[in-house]
């Protein structure tokens, strides 16, 4: 069985001939949205006879979706616009919310529009200027489901030499990683870095710092670009939190969190207070940190391989085996941010940032709403 897709073998030089054709005053706008179980990304493209300058220039668009067991017409409501790195300027990618005709958030098999509720919470805490950064780990697979670059029979050498590695016998898929990085920069996504991860064929990119709702917008579009780049190379990027059983690392999406109070002198007190709030809501956050209510994370948060236990909450300075890590420099400076290492690679960043803001940044009655 082939490890790369047939589409990736098509003549790309022939494709470039058509992509280089002038398109006059017309602009291709690609609408991207989250569908079905809240993890699948979908898109469709329309032609506009002018180049949109702001998100307000992009019209809503109808789609057919499934809600409450029936096919029904829904709306794509544009919320965030990016440059298109695949067909270049002046073409655009537009992230959309899916709404019912009543303009309520759409519900498919599970609630897929988490952005709406997240944005309401972010509005309530906007005076705190919450900054988020998320570290998206993922694993490259062939279209046959076998990890990209692994021996067709058997396994590669044990973990230990792949983390932050270089070399043809250690780094599998670097071309994909570097192309994705460039695509994100071109698009205007706030990507801040990338690196090989512990398991061979596993990589990470970081997005942020982003303020408020921007975190979810930029990470979702970065995920779309990742899948699209992998399509060109004929491989698959999986966000499965534990793609390989056995003594191989799982994949997370750690979140770094900071408010203006935490960033100011003496902010460690606010960090400690936030951690104590998280301690009291450990089970609630575990249910939010993967789309299957914690079931996916059970395979990853096993209390070893620098992963905390899903059953226990822990926190510590420079402790990558804890639920919450306070970076050493933050402890020294007594201000900055903290890292929650529990979210799974397939988490919804809107759900995670919403839960984080609700727990750590709202006070009194507002926490419970």
**Cα 99–100–105 angle (5° rounding)?**
50
Residue with tokens 């004929």: 234
Domain-terminating residue out of 67, 83, 113: 113
Residue 368's pLDDT is: 45
Q: pLDDT band at residue 118, thresholds of 50, 70 and 90?
A: very high
Does a structural domain hold residue 263? Answer: yes
Q: Are residues 98 and 161 in the same domain?
A: no
CATH number of the domain residue 19 falls in: 3.10.20.70
239: region left, alpha or beta (phi > 0 left; psi from -120 to 50 alpha): alpha
Q: Give the integer Cα–Cα distance in Å for 131 and 212.
A: 7
The mean per-residue pLDDT over the stretch 172-184 comes to 97
Helix (H) / strand (E) containing 210 = strand 202-211
Taking the CA atoms of 217, 223, 227 and 232 in sequence, report the sign of the dihedral they define. positive
In a domain, 95, yes or no: yes
85 and 129 housed in the same domain: no
Tokens found for residue 269? 């007190």
Residue that terminates a domain, selected from 113, 142, 172 = 113
For residue 279, tell me if it sits in a domain. Answer: yes
Average pLDDT rounded to a whole number, residues 331-345: 98
pLDDT band at 22 (very low <50, low <70, confident <90, very high): very high
Q: What is the C-alpha to C-alpha distance for residues 351 and 128, in angstroms, rounded to an integer?
A: 19
**Do 94 and 229 fall into the same domain?**
no
Q: What is the mean pLDDT of residues 160-189?
A: 94
Helix (H, G, I), strand (E, B) or coil at 355: helix
The band of 107, judged by pLDDT with boundaries at 50, 70 and 90, is low
Pure H helices in the chain: 12-19, 115-124, 174-187, 214-233, 260-263, 268-280, 282-288, 328-333, 349-361, 365-368
pLDDT of residue 68: 54
* Lowest-confidence region among 38-47, 192-201, 246-255: 38-47
Residues 145, 257 share a domain: yes
Q: Return contacts of 292-299, CB within 8 angstroms, 24+ apart.
A: 296/240, 296/241, 296/242, 296/344, 296/346, 297/241, 297/342, 297/344, 299/241, 299/242, 299/250
Asked if 97 and 190 sit in the same domain, the reply is no
Nearest to 173 by CA among 225, 228, 236, 221: 236
Indicate if the pLDDT at residue 364 is higher than 80. no
Residue 161's pLDDT band, with cuts at 50, 70 and 90, is: confident
- Domain-embedded: residue 2: no
In a shared domain, residues 101 and 147: no
Q: Residue 109: what pLDDT? A: 41
Indicate if 160 and 306 belong to the same structural domain. Answer: yes
Structural domain boundaries enclosing 21: 7-113
Do 94 and 176 lie in one domain? The reply is: no
Q: What is the arithmetic mean of pLDDT over 336-342?
A: 98
The pLDDT, as a whole number, for residue 365 is 46
Over 258-298, what HEC string results? ECHHHHCCCCHHHHHHHHHHHHHCHHHHHHHCCCCCCCCHH
Q: Are strands 92-99 and 27-35 parallel, antiparallel or unpaired?
A: parallel
Q: What is the pLDDT of residues 275-287, one digit of tens each?
A: 999 999 999 999 9
Residues 345 and 238 in one domain: yes
Residue 255 has pLDDT above 50, yes or no: yes
- Would the pLDDT of 188 be above 90? yes
Radius of gyration of the chain (CA): 21
Res 131 pLDDT > 50 = yes
Average pLDDT, the chain: 92
In 162-211, where does DSSP find H-type helix? Answer: 174-187
Q: Which of 83, 113, 143 is the last residue of a domain?
A: 113
pLDDT given for residue 37 in this prediction: 60
pLDDT at 178: 98
Looking at the domain assignment, is residue 118 inside a domain? no
Mean local confidence (pLDDT), 264-273: 98
Confirm whether 321 is domain-assigned.
yes
Together in a domain, 146 and 60: no
Structural domain contains residue 1: no
What is the count of structural domains for the chain?
A: 2
Higher per-residue pLDDT: 71 or 157: 157
Q: What's the predicted TM-score (pTM) here?
A: 0.95
Give mean pLDDT, residues 332-343. 98
Q: What is the pLDDT of residue 121?
A: 98
Strands of 27-35's sheet, edge to edge? 40-48, 27-35, 92-99, 70-83, 61-67
pLDDT surpasses 80 at 108: no
Who's near 285: CB < 8 A, 6+ residues apart? 278, 340, 342, 355, 359
Q: How far is CA 250 from CA 44, 78, 136, 159, 256, in A?
A: 33, 34, 12, 12, 19
pLDDT exceeds cutoff 80 at 23:
yes
Q: Are residues 16 and 161 in the same domain?
A: no
Q: Are 66 and 172 in a shared domain?
A: no
Find the CATH number of the domain harbouring 355: 3.30.590.10
- Residue 27: strand pairing partners: 48
C-alpha distances out from residue 294 to 135, 165, 282, Å: 19, 31, 11
Q: What is the pLDDT of residues 50-96, one digit of tens each?
A: 999 999 999 999 987 655 555 678 899 999 999 999 999 999 999 99
pLDDT at 160: 83
Q: What percent of the chain has pLDDT over 90?
A: 80
* Residues facing 138 on adjacent strands: 203
Percent of the chain with pLDDT over 70: 93
- Does residue 1 have a pLDDT over 60? no
Q: Does residue 178 sit within a domain?
A: yes
Between residues 162 and 319, the one the model is more confident about: 319
């Amino acid at each position: 069985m082939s490890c790369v897709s047939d589409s990736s073998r098509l003549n790309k030089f022939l494709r470039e001939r058509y992509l280089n054709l002038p398109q006059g005053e017309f602009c291709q706008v690609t609408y991207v949205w989250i569908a079905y179980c809240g993890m699948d990304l979908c898109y469709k493209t329309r032609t506009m006879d002018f180049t949109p300058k702001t998100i307000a220039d992009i019209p809503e668009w109808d789609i057919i979706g499934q809600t409450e067991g029936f096919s029904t017409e829904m709306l794509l409501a544009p919320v965030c616009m990016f440059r298109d790195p695949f067909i270049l300027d002046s073409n655009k990618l537009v992230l959309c919310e899916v709404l019912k005709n009543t303009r309520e958030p759409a519900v498919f098999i599970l609630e897929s529009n988490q952005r709406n509720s997240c944005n309401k919470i972010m509005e309530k805490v906007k005076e705190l200027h919450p900054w988020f950064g998320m570290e998206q780990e993922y694993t490259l697979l062939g279209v046959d489901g076998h990890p990209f670059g692994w021996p067709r029979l058997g396994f590669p050498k044990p973990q230990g030499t792949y983390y932050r590695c270089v070399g043809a016998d250690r780094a599998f898929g670097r071309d994909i990683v570097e192309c994705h990085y460039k695509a994100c920069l071109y698009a205007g996504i706030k990507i801040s870095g990338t690196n090989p991860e512990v398991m061979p064929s596993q990589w990470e990119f970081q997005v942020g710092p982003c303020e408020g709702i921007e975190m979810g917008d930029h990470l979702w579009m970065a995920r779309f670009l990742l899948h699209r780049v992998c399509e060109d190379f004929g491989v698959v990027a999986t966000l499965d939190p534990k793609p390989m059983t056995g003594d191989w690392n799982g994949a997370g999406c750690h979140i770094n969190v900071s408010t203006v109070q935490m960033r100011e002198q003496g902010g460690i007190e606010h960090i400690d207070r936030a951690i104590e709030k998280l301690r009291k809501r450990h089970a609630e956050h575990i249910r939010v940190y993967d789309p299957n209510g914690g079931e996916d994370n059970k395979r990853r948060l096993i209390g070893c391989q620098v992963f905390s236990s899903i059953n226990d909450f822990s926190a510590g300075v420079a402790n990558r085996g804890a639920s919450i890590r306070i970076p050493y420099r933050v402890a020294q400076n007594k201000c900055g941010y903290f890292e929650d290492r529990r979210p799974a690679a397939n988490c919804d960043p809107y759900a995670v940032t919403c839960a984080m803001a609700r727990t750590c940044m709202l006070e009194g009655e507002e926490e419970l709403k």
